[in-house]
Amino acid sequence: MNTANTSTIIEQYIGGEFSIKKTNWVENEINTNPQFSNEYKLHLEVHKAIKEKDIMDLREKLQTICKQGEYREMGIIRRIFSINDYIKPAIAAAVLTVMVIASILLFSTGKNYTNDQLFTMNYESIPAISNSRSANSNSDQFINKAFQLYEQKDFNGAINIFKNYESDKFAQFFLGMSYIEIDQYQNASVVFLNILDKKNNLFTEESNWYLGLCYLKLSQTQKAKEIFNKIANSNNINNVKANKILKSL
């Protein structure tokens, strides 16, 4: 009897699929055949592990927390709440100084670019990150697949999953990014606008920035200007870049 057969027999035995005679035979094997017995124990262990949905959910939740932490560390998500209020004016002043210098430099060497060129110069793909989520419902387990697909640059596949998570800003942000990656700027802009509707979330800064870039690609220059103006006059991480774009528009 090979291992595959043993495995099948054990599963059928556990599933109660055997007659009394066959059941007795299996039980005898478990008691007398160490190899068979070990295989049986392995099956019981694996069954037990699979039944630990709570553990798998917890692990996925923790993976998400770690990934988000890593992501924040990379500086893409700004933890604005952790900035000391006393430091904020200093940062704003420093940013303003940089902006003024940048503006002067831009004016002295100013050059007009097309919207497409500005997009290309300023668009950076978000680094592919894998992610996993807590599986509070059956469908939640699929979101991890979406991040895998995003990582593999299967953006259409990722979109099909991300778009089911309307209330999840993390998923929605990556939905927007996925649309950009396949040149669907109109869809991307709708997604970013939805994120921005829910004010003061961790994706506000990045969503504003990418929305502005989408408007460039969509030749909606006036809207792009409004967005980049807003960014340039804020503490947004991209305010210097936004200011440069405005000078070129």
SS3 18: coil
At 194, the amino acid letter reads N
Among 2, 32, 34, 81, binds other proteins (CB under 8 A): 81
- Say whether residue 21 binds other proteins (CB under 8 A): no
Handedness of CA 199, 203, 206, 210 (dihedral sign): negative
- Say whether residue 127 binds other proteins (CB under 8 A): no
Rounded to a whole number of angstroms, the minimum distance from the CB of residue 22 to other proteins is 16
At 20, the amino acid letter reads I
- Given a contact cutoff of 8 angstroms between Cβ atoms, the answer to whether 95 and 235 are in contact is yes
Stretch that binds other proteins, among 25-33, 116-124, 138-146, 174-182 (CB under 8 A): 138-146
Rounded to a whole number of angstroms, the minimum distance from the CB of residue 172 to other proteins is 18
- Given a contact cutoff of 8 angstroms between Cβ atoms, the answer to whether 146 and 161 are in contact is yes
- Say whether residue 57 binds other proteins (CB under 8 A): yes
Among 32, 34, 54, 124, binds other proteins (CB under 8 A): 54
- Given a contact cutoff of 8 angstroms between Cβ atoms, the answer to whether 243 and 232 are in contact is yes
Among 1, 24, 70, 127, binds other proteins (CB under 8 A): 70
- Say whether residue 44 binds other proteins (CB under 8 A): no
Closest CA to 216 of 126, 117, 125: 117
At 34, the amino acid letter reads P
- Say whether residue 59 binds other proteins (CB under 8 A): yes
Site string for other proteins, 153-192 (x = CB under 8 A): ----------------------------------------
Stretch that binds other proteins, among 22-30, 43-51, 190-198, 224-232 (CB under 8 A): 43-51
Closest CA to 2 of 29, 46, 32, 35: 35
Q: Residue 13: count other Cβ atoms within 10 Å of its Cβ.
A: 19
C-alpha span between 114 and 61 (Å, rounded): 44
Q: Return residues touching other proteins (CB under 8 A).
A: 3-4, 7-8, 11-12, 15, 42-43, 45-59, 61-63, 65-66, 69-70, 79, 81-82, 134, 138, 141-142, 145
